[in-house]
């Protein structure tokens, strides 16, 4: 697998629902103009905010943008996900799409149609589906790579042991293995052993990073800025982050942001990229994109990283 420098990934979850198409187009234009490359979406985005009760709005907006910007497909890479899209409107999780071979193939076919492309650059299994044999899911993802519908494949919200088991099965089947992980991660951490309010989220662990570094897997993080909580007084950190370690880390964050004359968010993104992690940043305004992309120029030295490590 080709290892590249970390990227800022544009999260497009709200496009077509909370972010109207015109504003989404402006955000996408600014992202590309600023040198951004990766777009992250999913076939289920955002069924919970869409009057239709099903996903697909984000992919449709990206598809419309691609059609309106001839040649831009060559400048961006598109990642989407299968798993979780309701098969019956307003019926989730009862009708949530799983990871059977049929579900995976049908989901990708519909995603490609909405996006108006013949392939995606990275296809994620959005979450585990333990009702389906892992061998079946691995085979379906491998088939999609073999026929060119996906160039790379990865696992989001999967336990590390399941990822490694899937990679072993892929070797046995002689198909393309998962080569990327996507998990929730940020500078501050919830209290240990405290359940997240977002039950479908899975936190990045030391075991995940160990696996990724040993096997050369890409790592993407979502909820990297915790929905604006680092900078917005009206977006306090969720209760599960209320512990002494958070207080210490935020104090160091303030100090380092001041020393470098950058924002808190930019330091957080730089901290993630310093570990080889690609942070996904959701944006509802152009200035969000510009601020996030500027984080690529923030350089954290060993001394900064040590201060964060000691505070945690």
Residue 3: pLDDT above 70? no
Q: Residue 308: CB partners within 8 Å, gap ≥ 6?
A: 187, 249, 252, 253, 256, 271
| Cα 18 from Cα 193, distance rounded (Å) | 32
Residue 16: pLDDT above 50? yes
Quick check: pTM over 0.75? Answer: yes
> How much is the pLDDT for 121?
98
> How much is the pLDDT for 300?
97
- pLDDT tens profile 226-242: 999 999 999 999 999 99
Contact indicator for 85, 92 with CB cutoff of 8 Å: no
> How much is the pLDDT for 278?
98
Helix or strand (DSSP H, E) at 11:
strand 9-11
| Cα 62 from Cα 64, distance rounded (Å) | 5
> How much is the pLDDT for 195?
87
pLDDT band at 4 (very low <50, low <70, confident <90, very high): low
* CA proximity to 295, closest of 35, 75, 4, 15: 35
- pLDDT tens profile 101-126: 999 999 999 999 999 999 999 999 99
In whole numbers, what is the pLDDT of the chain averaged over residues? 96
Residue 74: pLDDT above 60? yes
Residue 1: pLDDT above 50? no
CB atoms under 10 Å from CB of 236, counted, come to 12
Q: For 42-149, list the strands marked E by DSSP.
A: 77-82, 122-125
Residue 34: pLDDT above 50? yes
Residue 199: pLDDT above 90? no
Residue 99: pLDDT above 80? yes
Question: Per-residue pLDDT averaged across 168-194, rounded?
Answer: 96
Going from N- to C-terminal start, the domains of the chain cover 9-238+264-300
Residue 2: pLDDT above 60? no
- pLDDT tens profile 120-153: 999 999 999 999 999 999 999 999 999 999 999 9
Left if phi > 0, otherwise alpha if psi is -120 to 50, otherwise beta: which for 249?
alpha
**Which CATH code of 3.20.20.100, 2.60.40.1930, 3.40.50.10440, 3.30.1950.10 fits the domain covering 9-238+264-300?**
3.20.20.100
């Amino acid at each position: 697998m080709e290892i590249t420098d970390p990227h800022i990934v544009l999260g497009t979850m709200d496009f077509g629902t909370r972010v109207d198409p015109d504003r989404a187009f402006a955000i996408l234009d600014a992202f590309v103009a600023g040198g951004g490359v990766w777009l992250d979406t999913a076939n289920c985005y955002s069924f919970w905010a869409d009057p239709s009760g099903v996903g697909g709005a984000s992919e449709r907006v990206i598809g419309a943008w691609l059609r309106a910007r001839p040649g831009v497909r060559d400048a961006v890479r598109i990642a989407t996900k299968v798993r979780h899209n309701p098969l019956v409107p307003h019926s989730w999780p009862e009708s949530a799409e799983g990871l059977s071979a049929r579900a995976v193939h049908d989901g990708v076919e519909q995603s490609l149609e909405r996006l108006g492309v013949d392939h995606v650059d990275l296809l994620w299994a959005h979450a585990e589906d333990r009702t389906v044999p892992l061998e079946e899911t691995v085979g379906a993802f491998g088939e999609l790579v073999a026929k060119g519908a996906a160039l790379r494949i990865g696992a989001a919200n999967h336990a590390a042991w399941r990822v490694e088991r899937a990679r072993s099965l892929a070797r046995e089947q002689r198909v393309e293995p998962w080569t990327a992980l996507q998990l929730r991660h940020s500078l501050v951490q919830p209290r240990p052993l405290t359940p997240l309010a977002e039950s479908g989220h899975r936190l990045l662990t030391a075991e995940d990073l160990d696996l990724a570094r040993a096997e050369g897997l890409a790592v993407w993080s979502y909820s990297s800025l915790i929905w604006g909580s680092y900078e917005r007084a009206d977006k306090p950190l969720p209760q599960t982050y209320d512990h002494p370690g958070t207080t210490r880390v935020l104090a160091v964050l303030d100090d380092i942001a001041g020393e470098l004359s950058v924002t808190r968010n930019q330091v957080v993104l730089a901290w993630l990229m310093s570990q080889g992690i690609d942070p996904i940043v959701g944006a509802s305004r152009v200035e969000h994109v510009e601020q996030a992309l500027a984080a690529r120029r923030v350089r954290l030295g060993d001394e900064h990283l040590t201060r964060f490590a000691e505070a945690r």
